[in-house]
Amino acid sequence: MKQLITLPGFIFLFSLSLFGQDSLKKTNPIIFGDIGFGIPVSGIDGIQFNSSLNYQYKKSLFTLRIVAVQSFTVAAAELTPITFFPYFKDAGHLTEESILYGWRFAQDGHSYSISAGISDNDRVIVYYTNKIKHQLEYRYAGLPFEMNVLWFKARKQKYHLYYLIPVGKPTAFGHSFGFKLSGNISQHSYMSLGMVFGLGLHKEY
């Protein structure tokens, strides 16, 4: 989870440097970051959090991605013989660090992309027997993949702080949001669907 915190910070600072240079260039590089969440639909249960840094050259898309999935089970504590209180128990987690290559096509204010690559995965499975906690850990390589649909501003506009307050001159720098279908083919394969929110330079303006 620490990587998910530091990567968006790096994305924001790097994008601000490009934002400051934007007015000096006729075109801008395409580089943006995103963070998001999702629900695995197969292979693993839980809640997924993801963060990525993306760079596009022509139609080629290069991505650094970090994924964390927290799994849990629902248990019940007996308060009285006829009263139970439900709560969540840790069922393990998955962390994934990956490099992907793919293709991205942007038109007006939206884009489509598809990517695949290699990853290093750490899968921890937690289970209980007679109220005793057991833990299994697996470290393995995988083949990550993802498909994205993003929406962003179609033309240069002032950057809107908190989506509301316009600041500075018209710029390519701005927000995005969209949907991500992602997963990993590996010893513990999974696939998930979620939403992403981005910040950066999403096309050449």
In degrees to the nearest 10, what's the CA dihedral of 205, 158, 11, 197?
Answer: -90
Q: Which residues pair with 67 in a beta bridge?
A: 50, 96
Tokens for 76?
């019940």
User: pLDDT truncated to tens, each residue of the chain (205 aa)?
Assistant: 545 545 555 554 454 444 444 444 557 899 999 999 999 999 998 999 999 999 999 999 999 999 999 998 877 676 667 767 777 788 899 999 999 999 999 988 999 999 999 999 999 999 888 888 899 999 999 999 999 999 999 888 888 787 778 888 888 899 999 999 999 999 999 999 999 999 999 998 8
Residue range(s) defining the domain that contains residue 189 = 2-201
Sign of CA dihedral 159, 164, 55, 64: positive
Collapse the DSSP code of 162 into the 3-class scheme (helix H, G, I; strand E, B; otherwise coil) and give the result.
coil
Question: Which of 186, 189, 196 has its CA nearest to residue 44?
Answer: 189
Cβ-based neighbours of 87, under 8 Å, separated by 6 or more: 74, 75, 76, 77
What is the pLDDT at residue 20?
47
Instruction: Count how many domains the chain has.
Output: 1
Residue with tokens 């501003």: 153
What is the pLDDT at residue 138?
95
How many CB atoms sit inside 10 A of residue 72's CB?
16
Sign of CA dihedral 161, 15, 62, 139: negative
Question: Which of 166, 185, 180, 174 has its CA nearest to residue 118?
Answer: 185
CATH number at residue 154: 2.40.160.20
What is the pLDDT at residue 7?
56
Helices and strands, counts by H and E, the chain:
1, 10
